[in-house]
Amino acid sequence: MTKISLTAHPFLLGFEQLERLVERTAKSGAEGYPPFNIEAASENAYRITLAVAGFREEDMAITVEDRQLVIRGRQAEDTGERVFLHRGIAARAFQRAFVLADGVEVAGAALENGLLHIDLHRSVPDSVVQTIRIGRK
């Protein structure tokens, strides 16, 4: 089977990075924990909400690494003498990643009622028309 490449088309110049982003997104996995929502708050604002019941602010880290938003969570080991008859609340570590487009930045994050909200904002550049002067060699 032949792999179709975005960069194979002669009118698509300089899209190699886009192809790498698509491949990285496909490899990010389809694990369902923790569940999340993505909302369009406005034309240039988004909100990602993750259900992180039982996690505290200090149990989580949010980073942007090479245009990829990465949310990690790890709860501290329970050193108490609690005996569970049933343990249905997940306490496992997680990592969730989202690829961000150029100009999308994290505006802030907040933990509220077991939900981690991450607000994103897209900067829209002014429309620029560039005139190219033709020179002689």
Is 10 contained in some domain? no
19-28, 55-64, 74-83: which has the minimum mean pLDDT?
19-28
Q: What is the pLDDT of residues 111-124, one digit of tens each?
A: 999 999 999 999 88
Enumerate the β-bridge partners of residue 96: 71
Global confidence as pTM: 0.73
| Structural domain span for residue 54 | 32-122
Is 26 contained in some domain? no
Is 81 contained in some domain? yes
Is 22 contained in some domain? no
Is 108 contained in some domain? yes
Is 38 contained in some domain? yes
The confidence band for 74, taking pLDDT boundaries of 50, 70 and 90, is very high
Is 5 contained in some domain? no
109 burial level (CB within 10 Å; 0-12, 13-18, 19+): middle
Cis peptide before 34 (omega within 30 of 0): yes
CATH number of residue 55's parent domain: 2.60.40.790
- Assign 77 to helix, strand or coil: coil
Q: How many domains does the chain have?
A: 1
